[in-house]
């Protein structure tokens, strides 16, 4: 007997899934390669078929209704399952593992350590994917995530390390803090400029007047602050894992003082049912052991 299926608007489900992820009909249409009017038509058709209002318009923005949120959650899992099943069926390379991570973690920690991983795991096709904050944690983006986001429902999580800011400077400033030097703040907001250094001074029982010389030198990212340090522009507080590789090469020096905890942590997140897949498990094990080795090596 021929199997019969109930009528389903699969294209409508696909369009709605994209709209739910972007909260934008325009962005969803661009992702799917269709016009905005075609996407809107599919949404109306799906809403009529289901007899439910799925999205609400609030000026130029949209939001999901309760029914829309329930459908979005269901479709997220369903599409993930379809993609995994299709990949397994048609023989897509299952040795490929996609690792999503922040730019600072990628360039400051992962890239310098990557040769160690590839040497020990030459058969794993590891692909790095940059994410912004807050990231979209889903199988459609990556298989493994390193982020500071709270653990998502349905995901297994393990901690790599907490974020600590350490003072660093170019080698010519090795004797810094014996006299004031220019200080670099990783925030351009006038209200927040220098707050990191104020926390450092308080933690270490120091006076700001004994640390800073001249005006603040500001930037909007730790990676920019580190480049300013390398250019000899002063001292900066940066996450210790970013400073580790440059310290090892003698390009920057660690200045005295206890590190400042930011309250952020870097955690691995993997979908619960995928945590024991061999290649994912190997990557997670290596990440954890590499993090421990770095902590032991640099003593932060």
Q: Sketch the domain layout of the chain as residue ranges.
A: 10-90, 96-160+264-298, 163-262
Q: Are 178 and 122 in contact (CB under 8 A)?
A: no
Nearest to 45 by CA among 12, 5, 10, 8: 12
Record: fold of 96-160+264-298 = D-Maltodextrin-Binding Protein; domain 2 (3.40.190)
Query: What separation in angstroms does the CA of 241 have from each of 141, 172, 237, 259?
Result: 25, 22, 12, 12
Residue 199 has pLDDT above 90, yes or no: yes
- Of residues 227 and 296, the one with the higher pLDDT is 227
Nearest to 16 by CA among 32, 5, 4, 33: 32
The region, left, alpha or beta by phi > 0 then psi within -120 to 50, assigned to residue 274 is alpha
Residue 198 has pLDDT above 90, yes or no: yes
Task: Assign 254 a pLDDT band (cuts: 50, 70, 90).
Answer: very high
- Residue 149, φ and ψ in degrees, nearest 5: -75, 150
Nearest to 90 by CA among 82, 98, 99: 82
Q: Answer whether CATH 3.40.190.10 is correct for domain 163-262.
A: yes
142-165 residue pLDDT tens: 999 999 988 888 889 999 999 999
pLDDT of residue 260: 94
pLDDT of residue 90: 47
255-269 residue pLDDT tens: 999 999 999 999 999
Distance CA 53, CA 3 (A): 31
223-252 residue pLDDT tens: 999 999 999 999 999 999 889 888 888 999
Distance CA 132, CA 190 (A): 23
pLDDT of residue 84: 64
| Tokens 């990231």 found at | 135
Q: Are 71 and 44 in contact (CB under 8 A)?
A: no
Dump the DSSP string for 186-235.
S---TTTTTHHHHHHHHHTT--HHHHB-SS-EE-SSHHHHHHHHHTTS-E
Lowest mean pLDDT among 132-141, 185-194, 238-247: 132-141
pLDDT of residue 85: 65
Residue 59 has pLDDT above 90, yes or no: no
CATH number of the structural domain 10-90: 1.10.10.10
- Quick one: average pLDDT of 272-283? 91
Are domains 10-90 and 96-160+264-298 of this chain identical in fold? no
> Is the pTM higher than 0.75?
no
Question: CA angle at residue 134 from 62 to 197, to 5 degrees?
Answer: 130
């Amino acid at each position: 007997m021929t199997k019969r299926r109930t009528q389903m608007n699969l294209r409508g489900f696909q369009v709605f899934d994209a709209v739910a992820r972007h909260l934008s009909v325009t962005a969803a249409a661009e992702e799917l390669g269709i016009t905005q009017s075609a996407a809107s038509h599919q949404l109306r058709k799906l809403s009529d078929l289901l007899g439910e209002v799925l999205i609400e318009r609030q000026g130029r923005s949209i939001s999901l209704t309760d029914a829309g949120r329930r459908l979005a959650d269901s479709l997220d899992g369903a599409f993930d399952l379809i993609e995994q099943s299709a990949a397994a069926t048609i023989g897509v390379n299952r040795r490929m593992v996609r690792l999503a991570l922040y730019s600072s973690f990628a360039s400051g920690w992962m890239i310098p350590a990557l040769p160690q991983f590839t040497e020990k795991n030459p058969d794993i096709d590891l692909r790095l994917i940059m994410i912004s904050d807050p990231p979209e944690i889903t199988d459609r983006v990556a298989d493994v995530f390193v982020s500071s986001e709270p653990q998502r429902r349905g995901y297994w999580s393990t901690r790599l390390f907490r974020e600590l800011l350490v003072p660093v400077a170019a080698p010519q400033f090795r004797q810094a803090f014996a006299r004031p030097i220019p200080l670099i703040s990783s925030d351009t907001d006038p209200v927040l400029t220098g707050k990191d250094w104020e926390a450092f001074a308080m933690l270490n029982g120091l006076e700001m007047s004994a640390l800073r010389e001249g005006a603040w030198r500001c930037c909007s990212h730790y990676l920019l602050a580190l480049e300013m340090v390398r250019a000899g522009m002063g001292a900066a507080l940066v996450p210790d894992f970013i400073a580790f590789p440059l310290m090892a090469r003698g390009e920057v020096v660690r200045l005295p003082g206890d590190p400042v905890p930011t309250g952020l942590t870097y955690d691995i997140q993997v979908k619960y049912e995928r945590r024991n897949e061999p290649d994912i498990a190997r990557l997670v094990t290596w990440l954890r052991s590499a993090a421990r080795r770095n902590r032991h090596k640099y003593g932060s």
